[in-house]
């Protein structure tokens, strides 16, 4: 029997282990120098001005929604083909999630479906939009920005699947996912199956200094230690001593807004930095794997669609849409190949059905769900393993 082949897998090297151990032996386990170094390196890699490291991608989404002042009753548009967290961040703040269908070719939020929603409602009905670079395929954020501007919407890019992914803008310029040129905020996840693994971890990138400052507050309980920002006076802060005090005492800090503890640890950040150094290498290998799948499954009559060989795609996932998906999934399991389904449409999760969504609302998303399967895709997948996956799939359809 072949070794088990999952759909995604982390890659931990000796260097990764060494930097984590070194950090564990240092003076800082959390919020030490590795955090700032990871933020700086990540912002540079993505091409954004600012980055804020967080405990996971869901926390990143929550803080984005808070920073953009999502409030009860506000309506925000997103795709049903994503992980539930892309939508849930709106619910955390009391907002309302409005789904729009996907484009059946790219599997991304369909901009024409979004336009239709916006055109059919009075201006001001919607507050924001959350496009997702699903599977690693970069959404054309320039186009989304145009309609966001027209309708006064903010935009969060969910780039969890796409560090290193790009699209070409109308000036023929390559735009990196999360670079902050179009979205107000972008988020990433460092869950083990993602490109960069920290165990758990997340990042927000932005070019907006005001939002960046707000995020720093929200990440740590809404507390600041910066004397320039203090609201209470120094005399009181010092304990109302009889001496005339103009400087705040060293212990002093202020909680000025309701925040959270969404911090990443220093040893996770050290792992992130080390992983980031291999990000391009991993991306190259993911693209090679995708190119081989794409060519192997070309013109197969049991194939309705596939991720394909797309320039700029970051290939977190390689998706095929196939006939007899359930049977193929079960067959592959007998061969120790653990393909996966991404995603069950979020609008049909019982939580969102309670809010009125029902089967038939988004036909493209639902058809996609009935036939999609994510094949093994990770940098350490060997040629021999990929050949075995392809051979098993071909055998299944020809036996």
In angstroms, rounded to a whole number, what is the distance separating the alpha carbons of residues 339 and 341? 7
Among 19, 117, 132, 211, binds ligand PLP (CB under 6 A): 132
- Confirm or reject binding of residue 205 to ligand PLP (CB under 6 A): no
Using rule CB under 6 A, residue 202 touches ligand PLP: yes
**Least Å distance between CB 60 and ligand PLP?**
7
Query: Is residue 145 close enough to count as binding ligand PLP by CB under 6 A?
Result: no
Helix boundaries (H) for the chain: 14-24, 33-46, 57-67, 85-92, 111-119, 141-151, 209-219, 234-237, 266-276, 279-296, 325-334, 350-353, 363-371, 383-398
Residues binding ligand PLP: number (CB under 6 A): 14
- Of residues 83-112, which lie at the interface with ligand PLP (CB under 6 A)? 83, 85-86
Nearer to ligand PLP, 202 or 308 (CB): 202
CB distance 133 to 314 below 8 Å: yes
Binding-site member from 82, 106, 175, 206 for ligand PLP (CB under 6 A): 82
Nearest distance in Å: CB 58, ligand PLP: 3
For ligand PLP, give the closer residue by CB, 57 or 95.
57
Residue tagged 């993911």 (tokens): 286
Pick the closer one to ligand PLP by CB: 145 or 191.
191
At its nearest, how many Å lie between ligand PLP and the CB of residue 262?
11
Three-class secondary structure of residue 379 per DSSP: coil
Between residue 348 and residue 367, which ones bind ligand PLP under the rule CB under 6 A? none
Alpha-carbon distance 214 to 220, whole Å?
11
Minimum CB–partner distance for residue 165 and ligand PLP (Å): 12
Give the list of residues 6+ apart from residue 134 with CB closer than 8 angstroms, or none.
79, 81, 82, 107, 108, 161
Q: In Å, how far are 106, 210, 216, 320, 325 from 163, measured between CA atoms?
A: 18, 24, 22, 21, 29
Contact window for ligand PLP (CB under 6 A) among 51-59, 243-251, 299-307, 381-389: 51-59
- Nearer residue to ligand PLP within complex by CB, 79 or 224: 79
Choice between 187 and 393, CB closer to ligand PLP: 187
Rounded (5°) CA angle 44-7-139:
45
Please report how close the Cβ of residue 101 comes to ligand PLP at its closest, in angstroms: 17
390 φ, ψ to 5°?
-65, -45
For binding to ligand PLP (CB under 6 A), which residues are involved? 56-58, 82-83, 85-86, 132, 158, 160-161, 189, 191, 202
């Amino acid at each position: 029997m072949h070794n088990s082949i999952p759909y995604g897998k982390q890659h931990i090297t000796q260097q990764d282990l060494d930097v984590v151990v070194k950090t564990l032996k240092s003076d800082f386990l959390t919020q030490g120098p590795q955090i700032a170094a990871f933020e700086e390196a990540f912002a540079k890699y993505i091409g954004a001005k600012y980055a804020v490291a967080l405990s996971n991608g869901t926390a990143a989404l929550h803080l984005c929604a808070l920073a953009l002042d999502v409030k009860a009753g506000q309506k925000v548009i997103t795709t049903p083909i994503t992980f539930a967290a892309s939508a849930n961040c709106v619910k955390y703040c009391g907002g309302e999630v409005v789904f729009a269908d996907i484009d059946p070719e790219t599997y991304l939020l369909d901009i024409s479906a979004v336009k239709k929603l916006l055109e059919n409602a009075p201006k001001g009905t919607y507050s924001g939009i959350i496009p997702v670079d699903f599977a690693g395929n970069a959404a054309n954020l320039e186009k989304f920005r145009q309609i966001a501007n027209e309708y006064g919407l903010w935009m969060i890019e969910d780039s969890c699947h796409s560090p290193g992914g790009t699209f070409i803008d109308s000036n023929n310029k390559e735009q990196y996912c999360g670079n902050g040129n179009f979205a107000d905020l972008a988020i990433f996840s460092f869950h083990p199956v993602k490109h960069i693994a920290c165990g758990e971890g997340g990042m927000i990138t932005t070019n907006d200094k005001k939002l960046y400052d707000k995020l720093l507050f929200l990440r740590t309980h809404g507390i600041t230690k910066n004397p320039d920002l203090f609201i209470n006076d120094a005399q009181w802060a010092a304990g109302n001593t009889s001496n005339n005090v103009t400087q705040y005492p060293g212990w002093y800090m202020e909680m000025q807004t309701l925040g959270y503890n969404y911090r990443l640890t220093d040893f996770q950040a050290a792992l992130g930095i080390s992983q980031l150094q291999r990000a391009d290498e991993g991306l190259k290998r993911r693209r090679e794997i995708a190119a081989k799948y794409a060519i192997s499954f070309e013109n197969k009559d049991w194939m309705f669609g596939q991720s394909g060989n797309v320039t700029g795609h970051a290939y977190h996932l390689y998706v095929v849409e196939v006939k007899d998906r359930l049977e193929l999934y079960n067959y592959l399991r007998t061969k120790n190949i653990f393909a996966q389904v991404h995603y069950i449409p979020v609008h049909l999760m019982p939580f969102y059905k309670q809010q009125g969504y029902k089967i038939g609302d988004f036909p493209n998303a639902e058809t996609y769900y009935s036939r999609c399967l994510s094949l093994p895709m990770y940098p350490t997948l060997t040629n021999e393993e990929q050949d075995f996956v392809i051979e098993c799939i071909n055998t299944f359809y020809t036996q």
